[in-house]
Every structure is written in structure tokens, then in C-alpha cells.
Structure 1
Amino acid sequence: MRYYITLFVLFALVFSKSGFSQGSPYYKGGFKIKFDDSDDKYVRILTWVQTQANFSDSRSDDQADVSFQLRRARLLVYGQITKDFLILTHIGINSLNASNMDPLGADGAPQVFMHDAWAQYDVSDQIVVGGGLHYWNGLSRLNSQGTLNLMTLDNNRSSWATLGLVDQFARHVGVFAKGNFGKLQYNVAINEAIVNGLDTNPLSNTNAVYRGANILGTAEAGKTYTGYFAYNFLNLESNFLPYKVGTYLGTERIFNVGAGFYHHPNGAVIIKENQAVGENVNLFAADLFYDAPIGEQGASLTSYAVFQSNDYGTNYLLGPYSSGEMLYGHFGYLLSSTNSTTRFQPYVSYNYTFIDASDQDRTILGLGINAFLNGHNSKLTLEYKSESFGNINQNTLSLQAMIYL
């Protein structure tokens, strides 16, 4: 523990004299190519990189305690020639490290792939419809969390509730609708379920497997249904894109109460009377998000809490996914400042998951601090995380540098 505390102190001292602004004064909306003087015809380009150094106390004796990885490298482009329709594409690579790289960059496990590609049409001021490979996820705010402006080092992993089970990296091929009715925002979708998900466990009469589309066929288990609804009590958040903001750094006054669902008929399969029988997968969540400035010296508070009820099938358990209930929350405080030095934001996160298939519950505690060198455009994050479940008792310390343009 002394090792972790020392690194936290050094982190604060080293970066306490760097320049800062909440939003970079040099950014001014990023790379945007306008086709005329109006804002209706343009192409916008965003790119970002996150690289990490990670220390773990639970690696085997023949593995180094400290490792490096390219956590994310992304390129996102969207544009329109009229405000009535828009296209978006998003490509990138995730978690590239020495264990999964390829000598020639051809056959390694992580590769550059299409994250998003969709087209959307404005039907009215309240309704936008679209389709393709999209990120308009339902269930909860964190199920559509963006990675440009996270408050914590990374998203709460189990909040990406179907990542790899029935989708491609939390993206689905399907159709969606989204919009606003006053201060009520919504997004709903009907999607395809992939047939080659991460769950490869054999069929059992005690534990369901999430392989309905693969085992029962797409006629019986090929579609999923999802939605999320949030009421904005203060400022109205933008839902122009699906990527939810992690922390606004005091630039907005936001208080949202949301609820959502995910339904997959016959998504799970279990053996009953020597036959494969489908079970519906049903997930429900309710959450709160608050982000607002405090005082007149630049301080702000960010907080989030969610309750999620998970039914992936009888006694389901696979990595971060389990039938049961999950409570998660995080809290961060952007320290006040009267000058232009680096801004710091200490935070805490906590996940408590009740697991039907186990007598033991999972707990994950995170303690971290952000150093904003130029708002979210240039940020350093140091985080200590402790996870406990069954035989797992793992402590990690991560330092991440992120730049986005």
C-alpha cells in the first residue's frame, strides 16, 4: 500500500505546474471541414489515443509486474450535406500489448476494425431514425459511455452489459430511433444477435449459456430489443451522438434520472429433460447522473449511481456477466483553482454485485485522480483498483495518458 500512496503523491507533485484550461483554447471544435458558410454541410474528424502503464500484484512469477499497453487508438468521422441526414464511421484498435501483438501486424488478436458505421435521418424535431452498426444502446447511461471524457480510468466493465455476448464490442447491427420530447430523452433499438459470441461453455442442466442464436437459431433467438429514457431536470444534454459524457468539468449543470431495459427472447439456453430449452434474457436498470459547478473558482462535482437487475438465464456467470443484481456508483470532485495551473480531480468508484450462481459477491473499489493538462484534450489518470471475488483478490495500479483532437 505504501508503494501505491507514494506514486499518487509523486503524480500530484510532478504535474502541479503545467498549463490548463477545461476545454483547450486551441481546440475550438476540432477538425471540421465546412462545405459552405452554414453549419449544415460539413465533415468532422476526431482522433484519440490512450496509452497505459499497469502494475499488478497477482501476475505469475515468470511475468513482469509492470506492463505497457495501447489501450485505445480511434478515428471517428461524421458528416452531412443537409441537416436532414447524417453518416458516421468509427474505426480503431483496443488493448494492444506484447502478449497479443503480431510480428508483421497481420494476425494478432487486436486489430483495427469497424466500431461504428450508421446512417440516420431526421424525421422531425423529436424523432431521428437510423440503422447500421451502431452504439445507441439501451439499459443505462454507462452502457453507452463515451471514452473521450471518462471520469474514471475506464468504464465500469459490467455496465457494458452485452459486450461480446451478442454484439461486436458493444455495437449492434440493427435499427434505432432517438430524440427528445421536451426534457425527456429516449433511444430505442431492435438489433441482430451475433451467433459467435464470447460464451463457448457447453450446455448444462444447472447453468444457462448465452448462446441462443447459435444453438436455437436466429428464427427463435435472433433479435434483441433495448431502450433508455432519461429526464433532464437541469440543462438538456445533447443526444446528437450516443457517446455519454463522463464528466463536464463544471461547464454544464446536469441532473438526469434514467431507466432502461434489454430483452432477448430465448437468448440463453439450458438443458431440461435432455432438451435444449431457451430462456429469455432480461436486464433492467435505473440510474442518476449529476454534474455541476460549485462556487466561483472552478470547482465542480460529478456523481453517478445505478441499480441494475440482470437475468442472463439460470445461474449465469461468465467473467463480468452474471445473473443477479449490481449496484455501482462513482463520485469525483474537480478542485477549485484561481490560476491556470493543472487541474486535479480525485474520484472514487465502487461496484457491488450479487451473483446468483455463487455464495460470494463481487466487489471492486477504485481510487483515482485525473490531471487535466488541457481539459479532456490532454489528460493523465492514475488509478488504484482492488477487486475481490472467490479466489480473485487482485490489486492494480494504472497510469494512463490520453490525448484527443
Structure 2
Amino acid sequence: MKKILALALAALPLLAPAQTLKDGKLTLNTDGSRYVKLTLLNQGWARYNQSNTGTRLFGENKPHTFDLGIRRFRLQFFGQLTDRVFIYSQVGMNNFNYLSERKAGFFVHDATGDYAVVKNHLSVGLGLSGWSGLARFASPSAGTILGVDAPLVEQATNDVTDQFLRKLSFYAKGKVSRLDYRLAVASPMAIQRSAGYNATVSRVASFSARPPQPQFLGYLQWQFRDQESNLTPYTVGTYLGKKRVLNVGAGFVAQPRAMWYRADNGRDTLSQAMSQLAVDLFYDAPVDTTRGGPSVSFYATAIRFDFGPNYLRNLGVMNPAAGGTVPATILNGPGNALPLYGSGNVLYTQLGYKLRDNLLGETTLMPYASYQLARYERLTDNLHYYDLGLNWLLAGHAAKFTLSYQNRPVYQTLANGDNVVESRKSAVVLQYQVLFN
């Protein structure tokens, strides 16, 4: 990969007569409208986690863990090659800790090219892309998120029928007046290639192992104040007071015959569509007009998931006990996993407040809080998830520490089949981010 990038950059002077380096872009013409750009992101974690009840790893009890890891490392290389042709690529790694395979290689996140049919209004493209549907943070800009993670609940098929939220898709995107839109038709990846695939069909819905039908996605937002860029699919978490943004959005994801389950007679296998619907609101703006003054960031969304009867799926971010075990009655699984996705309704909200610039020398602070409520068919007790944190902005998003306290429920399955909250567990994460953009 390094050799390819070096050769590509070395060849650029042969391709264009006027190159300058400005704002991280290597220009390909005199006015800078054609360019290539490279960005880098690294997010390192130090974490203490209270394990889910009964977690065992390598034959030993693990009531808690401490681990270091790389949550994300990303390299983007993209460019405006002509007035209408844009190419975008991203490679990287995710969730590398002491349980990961050694010498883990980078993998392709994005590989797309698009063409501006009507400049600024309609571009079409094809490839492995993050032009997803549903909601704003179904495709988050990893380097600008408010806390240590965006609302992962919006990435409901992550690594199930896609590659770390990216999908093989044909997409259209653009702006009409203040309406920003994205629409896509995707080819879902085979469920048989996903981690933890289980071919068993039961009365609880799961993703069908039959050849997949096309998936349809879309997200539209009305931008009341400042316009946001839609050059790439990834949406900014917070502008730290550099913009005045007020957006209202709505989106969907739909796929025919995506799910299957066993009929009540115990013999027939029934299929049904997967559908996801959401509405959301994003507000990010300075509190007053003072240069470098405080700013606020707010986001809220309501989501309706229909994956079929009693569908439920756990997620454990960079799980420090991946591959471990728990008693059969613990629904979450081991480590830090929790039932994040299911058929039912979700409310999510987050709020951050950046204090004035240069509060501590040349640095400042930005506390935040997020809350998720999920009412899933299979859970007797509602899911409440909390994340409280503090950003220490050393140089905006370019260099920052984030300290996060997270609290999640652990569910136990009773003899009558009810899934109730048995206890609550916590984690403390310290993240250091470096972003070259």
C-alpha cells in the first residue's frame, strides 16, 4: 500500500503543469478546482470494563478487564479529477486489541467513483460506499464525532450484510435548493460470510440464507441554515462552533425477503422484508457571535426497526472478552456486549457544549452526554444506555482526548422466557485522537 501511494504521488507532477499544496490538497490545475487529497486518522483507546455477568475467557473468570487498543485507523485518498469526475477511497483497520489476530491487515472501507450529471444537484456513482440510508449517523465522519462513538444503533446491518457499514451499491446524491438527498440500491453481502453465522431457522427471525434481494436506501434532509458538504457520504458530528447548522431529516432502508423464521407449525419457513425507518434533528452552532465563543451540538432521532418476529442482535465494541462464555441464561453474551439491535422502536439523543476557545492555555473543553432508549419485542424490560463524557480539545478535532463513562444493562432469560435486566455494568474509556485532514 505504501509503495502504491508513493508511486502515485511521484507521478502527479507528470500529469499536471501546476501543483501546489494548500489545505492538505495537491492541486492539479491553476485554480485548484482539480486536486487530490490524503487524510489520516488514529484513535487509540485505554479502557476499563466491568464484564457481563459470568464472563469467562480462556477458562478463567473475567469479572473485569483492562485493555489498550486501536479503535480506528483510517487513510483516505480522494480527488476531483475533472470538473465532473470524483474518486474516493478509504482503507484502514478497526477494533485491534489483545485478542485480535496478529499483523492484522488493512481492509478496504470505500472504493467509489462518481460523475456529476448536473453539477451540485445530481451525481451518480458505483462501488463499495457509505452512501447509506436511514439517518444522519448511519455514515458518520469518524474524526468529528462528539464522543468516542457515533450512535452505532443507526448502523443496523454493520458487518452482517455489509462491510463495516459500507455496501456495494449504485447511488445518487445531490442538492435541490436546501434539500440534501442520497438514494442507493445495494447488493447485500452473503450472510453466510458474516461472523457468527448460524444456519438454524427458528421462530425467532434471523437473516435469510437464501440468495439476497436488492436493498433500497435513502436519506433526505432539509438544511435550514448553513449548507453542509456532501462531497463524501460521511456526516460531521460537531463543527465546534464553526458553522450554524439546523437540519431535519428522514430516511429508510428496505430489503424484500431479507429475513426468515419458522412458522408456528414448526415445519414451514416464512420470509419477510426488512424495513428500517427514521426521522432526526441536528443542531450545531455557536451560542453567541463572539469569535471563539462557546457552541452547542444537539442530535436526536427516532427509529422503527422491523426485522421480523423477536429479532435481536448483540454488539460488543472491540469486545475485551470476544470468544469468551457466559451462563446460558445471560442474553448479552460475554464481555461488554449488549442487545443493541432488534425489532421495535429506538430513541437516541446526544448533547454537547463546547466552552470558549483558549480556556486552558490554547485548549478548551467540551462535555457531552448521550442516551438511548430501546423498546424491542424480545426484551421484557426496556433498554437504557448512557454515555457521559468530556472532550479535551488540544487542537480541535486534530488532537483531542475524550474521557467516556458508559453504562449498559445485562439481561437474564427467566424460566418463562422473559428477558429482564439482571444488573448494570459500566466501562470507562480514554481515547486519544490524532487527525490529519
Same fold (TM over 0.5): yes
Structure 1 pair 95–366 and aligned structure 2 pair: CA distance change class (3 A): same
Aligned to 2:418: none
Q: CA deviation at 1:193?
A: 0.9
Aligned to 2:260: 269
Distance 2:397 2:406 in 1: 22
Match of 2:219 among 200, 211, 228: 228
Distance 1:258 1:177 in 2: 17
Determine whether 1:370 maps to 2:391: yes
Aligned to 2:40: 47
Distance 2:194 2:377 in 1: 22
Give secondary structure in 2 for the equivalent of 1:65. strand
The one-letter code sitting in structure 2 at the alignment partner of 1:390 is Y
Distance 1:324 1:381 in 2: 32
Distance 1:264 1:229 in 2: 19
Aligned to 1:5: none
Aligned to 2:353: 333
Pairing 1:189-268 to 2, within 5 Å after superposition:
189-195=184-190, 196-198=193-195, 200-210=197-207, 212=208, 215-217=209-211, 221-268=212-259
Q: Percent identity?
A: 30
Match of 1:346 among 362, 367, 372: 367
Distance 1:188 1:322 in 2: 24
Determine whether 1:400 maps to 2:431: yes
8 Å contact 2:50–2:64 — kept in the other structure?
A: no
Distance 1:204 1:366 in 2: 35
Match of 1:118 among 99, 106, 112: 112
Distance 1:313 1:197 in 2: 19
Distance 2:281 2:97 in 1: 35
Q: CA deviation at 1:157?
A: 1.9
Aligned to 1:164: 159
8 Å contact 1:203–1:271 — kept in the other structure?
A: no
Moved more, 121-130 or 354-363: 354-363
Distance 1:68 1:169 in 2: 21
Pairing 1:304-315 to 2, within 5 Å after superposition:
304-315=299-310
Structure 2: gaps of 5 or more residues: 1-20, 315-339, 413-422
Pairing 1:53-132 to 2, within 5 Å after superposition:
53-58=46-51, 61-62=61-62, 65-102=65-102, 105=103, 110-125=104-119, 126-132=121-127
Which TM-score applies when normalising by structure 1? 0.87
Distance 2:22 2:151 in 1: 28
Distance 2:47 2:222 in 1: 38
Coordinate RMSD, CA, aligned: 1.7
Moved more, 76-85 or 339-348: 339-348
Structure 1 pair 198–278 and aligned structure 2 pair: CA distance change class (3 A): farther
8 Å contact 2:410–2:425 — kept in the other structure?
A: no
Q: Deviations over 1:116-138 (max 9, x none)?
A: 00010000031000000000011
Give secondary structure in 2 for the equivalent of 1:390. strand
Structure 1 pair 338–87 and aligned structure 2 pair: CA distance change class (3 A): closer
Pairing 1:350-361 to 2, within 5 Å after superposition:
350-361=371-382
8 Å contact 2:81–2:87 — kept in the other structure?
A: no
Aligned to 1:284: 277
Structure 1: gaps of 5 or more residues: 1-27
8 Å contact 1:224–1:263 — kept in the other structure?
A: yes
Aligned to 1:22: none
Distance 2:194 2:268 in 1: 22
Give secondary structure in 2 for the equivalent of 1:165. coil
8 Å contact 1:130–1:177 — kept in the other structure?
A: yes
Distance 1:313 1:359 in 2: 17
Give secondary structure in 1 for the equivalent of 2:144. coil
Give secondary structure in 2 for the equivalent of 1:189. strand
The one-letter code sitting in structure 2 at the alignment partner of 1:388 is P
Which TM-score applies when normalising by structure 2? 0.80
Give secondary structure in 2 for the equivalent of 1:368. strand
Distance 1:99 1:229 in 2: 40
Aligned to 2:337: none
Determine whether 1:322 maps to 2:307: no
Moved more, 148-157 or 258-267: 148-157
Moved more, 192-201 or 282-291: 192-201
8 Å contact 2:358–2:364 — kept in the other structure?
A: no
